[in-house]
Structure 1
Amino acid sequence: EEIAYEKAGIAKSNKPMIYGDTVAVPIIEKQANLVDAKLVVRDREFSIQKEANQFSWAGVEHTIEAIQIPEHWAQGEINNLATSLAAIESYNSSLLPTTELLNNILKDFFIPGRFELIKSGTNWVLDVAHNPAAAKNFRKRLSTLNIKQNNIMIFSMMKDKNLDLFINVFKDIISDWVVCKMNTERSYTTLELEKKLARLGIDNIKVMESTEEAFKYVENLEPISDNIIVSGSFELVGPAKQYLNQKRY
């Protein structure tokens, strides 16, 4: 609720404010009313629904049908798409894409660092998820890969994040955990990460003092795991992308 209150501070008088969630709506609504903003809420003023193997979006005054969602998307990405379309409609509905144009965009659409798949000896899966909701969404996307249990996770987080809730999302698919300190004072130390994992009943833990050491370590493992999963922070995924790009070129 505190976060919702802070986020609602962006509300402007007589301007639309698009809210792409369904929690803490009364708090958002209260803030919008204080400045006379025009609140547009998911599953109230706009929505997206699955129909057979396609999706249909309904806005305040417009609809887009027969949307083909990418196969590796989870509900988080679908909700974000619905919210983006609502924002376009609120700004200038003439800019809304046709079904054909939208499907062409979605066919090759991806956000770097979000469920980014990189082949480098083995499969690397990079995602900047750093809170429980994002972790659950990432976990659902991983299930679309028919992922098994022999996976390594390179993991680190900022000190203000909830380690327990994040770690528990992945416990059933991670065989080995590699923890490292990121290049920021806001990062948990390796000792803090190791202790937290141990308290949650995890014992296959390897401690590395830097992100680069962690990346090199997992690449030299024999036998290699099914997937190398990198998640927990932008400050971890960014260096992973840089490391893999340097190897590629």
Structure 2
Amino acid sequence: MPRTITDHFSLPQWLDYQHLLHQQVIELGLERVRRVADKMGLVPHCPVLMVAGTNGKGSTCAFLNAMLDHLGYQVGVYTSPHLVRYNERIMLNGQAVSDRLLCEHFQKIEEARGDITLTPFEFGTLCAVSIFIEQQVDIMILEVGLGGRLDAVNIFTPTVAMVTSIGIDHVEYLGDNREDIGREKAGIFHAATPALCADPDTPQSILNYAKQIGAPLSLWGQDFSLTAMGDYLRFTGFGVDFSPLPYPALKGDFQRRNAALAIAALLKVTPSITLTLASIQYGLEKVFIPGRYQLLMRQCPIILDVAHNPDGAKELSHNLLASPVSGRTVMIFGMLKDKDIAGVIEQLKGAVDEWHVANVPDPRGSSGAYLKRLIADQGAQVMEHPSLPGAMQQVLGRVQGNDRIVVTGSFVTVGIIVDYLDQLR
């Protein structure tokens, strides 16, 4: 085969190339990416767990991975976006894949696609599944990027399809109400394939679509639950009962729904997987996912949370108010301009004493000046900085031990701060 310009690309060169190939960051639709997958012969030969939803997808994937790890399975997990390194999106047995492996499989996609255009996300999706097939994983966990019905992940047929929650986000693509958004998320359901929804108020559109196509749908609070029993939890559903179970290591009451969804999904993969009490206990205790109410200790506690829509901000605010500090709560904040920034500020303002903002260095990033204006309009104390690392530097120089710092607003914001703090070590 003749050489191409991409034969010896580094990972950064590949990522730049993908963005140059397709100027649209998002282009929903399955026809293009399915044609390339067919040319590559990408057909998973193991169970595929597919996770859609507005919030909670990453946490659910993490619970699944931790429980499967304890059971000894070889697991491939595909999630997005990443915090610091692109490699974080594709995990093999809990480890990010190497640059070499990514580049090898990007090259396979490039040789297969011909003149078919692909978005960077579509490149990533094909790359993940190609790697998982080559590495012969026992099970794949695939997180939907946006929506579900027209997301690239949906070219693969799930063994179990999950919807975590329905909130208002990506309105320009999915709609501005829970019914329309729910229908898009339910697009990952398939006839005669187990479907699960952990939203406590499941939109009627999800119920209707599952019935229309003949997908057996199980619901949180009706078919499965994870109930607080004082100092332990109890899972019930599908004729089984697991207890005592510890509270999840991930903070927030909503994480019980994500954990229950993971348990329920693994029960639906039977007989391929035999779930045990010990594996659930391990998964709940050992689960970890960066940037989900992640606590770091420096001069004072630092909480990292990628909340980027009002529902996520509401949960973050609830967690902060439930764990007060004697000092101040100081926020480092940066969001993407296509998000509901005012709605997020509204949810957080009651839990924050002082705000610090800066430009978010992303094509979709909001300016610090705009964030400052929105926050000041709410009557809050806010300072603008030249950069997000500069904001953290100044805040670290001012806080006391009884204060806490919260970093939130987007994956980009949290990732930049994580990288900055790593450099300080």
TM-score (norm 2): 0.54
Deviation at 1:180, TM superposition (A): 1.4
* Residue of structure 1 in register with 2:207 after alignment: 29
Deviation per CA, 1:162-214: give whole Å up to 9, x if none.
Answer: 22332233323322100112111212221221111111111x21112322222
Structure 2 counterpart of 1:214: 391
Matched, 1:172 2:371: no
Separation in 2, partners of 1:33, 1:233: 36
Q: Which among 240, 244, 247 is matched to residue 421 of structure 2?
A: 244
Matches within 5 A, 1:53-132: 53-70=231-248, 73-92=251-270, 95=273, 97-132=275-310
2:320 equivalent to 1:142? yes
Identity %: 28
**1:8 aligned onto 2:225:** no
Are 2:395 and 1:235 equivalent residues in the alignment?
no
Question: Which structure 1 residue ranges, 5 or more long, are not aligned?
Answer: none
Deviations 1:89-146 (A, max 9, x none): 1122673543333223322322111111111222111000111221222223334533
The runs of 5 or more residues in structure 2 that have no matched partner are 1-177
Tell me how far apart the structure 2 counterparts of residues 16 and 180 of structure 1 sit (CA, whole Å): 45
The 3-state SS of whatever aligns with 1:209 is coil
Using the size of structure 1 for normalisation, the TM-score is: 0.90
Q: Does the 8 Å contact 2:317/2:351 carry over to 1?
A: no
Shift of 1:80: 0.3
Q: Is the 8 A contact 2:321 2:351 kept in 1?
A: no
SS in 1 for 2:393: helix
- Secondary structure, counterpart of 2:301 in structure 1: strand
Question: CA offset at residue 228 of structure 1?
Answer: 0.9
**Aligned-residue offset at 1:223:** 5.1
Pair member with larger Rg:
2
* Aligned equivalent of 1:187: 365
Amino acid in structure 2 at the alignment position of 1:62: V
CA distance in 1, matches of 2:207, 2:350: 39
- Alignment deviations for residues 38-62 of structure 1 (CA, whole Å, 9 cap, x no partner): 2111112111211122111112222
Aligned residue-pair number: 247
Supply the AA of the counterpart residue of 1:88.
L
Distance 2:287 2:402 in 1: 28
Measured against aligned partners, the alpha-carbon deviations of 1:25-80 in whole angstroms (never above 9, x if no partner) come to 31101122232212111112111211122111112222211111047622111110
Query: How many angstroms apart in 1 are the aligned matches of 2:229 and 2:241?
Result: 14
Q: Distance in 2 between matches of 1:83 and 1:4?
A: 17
Mark the CA change 1:221 to 1:99 in structure 2 (over 3 Å): closer, same or farther. same
Contact 2:385 2:391 in 1 (8 A): yes
Equivalent of 2:219 in 41, 57, 62 = 41
Question: Normalized per residue, which structure has more strand?
Answer: 1
Q: Which residue of 2 aligns with 1:196?
A: 374
Deviation at 1:232, TM superposition (A): 0.9
**Which range is displaced more, 164-173 or 30-39?**
164-173
Contact 1:120 1:244 in 2 (8 A): no
CA RMSD in angstroms, aligned pairs only: 2.1
AA in 2 matched with 1:235: V
The secondary structure found in structure 2 opposite 1:240 is helix
Aligned to 2:23: none
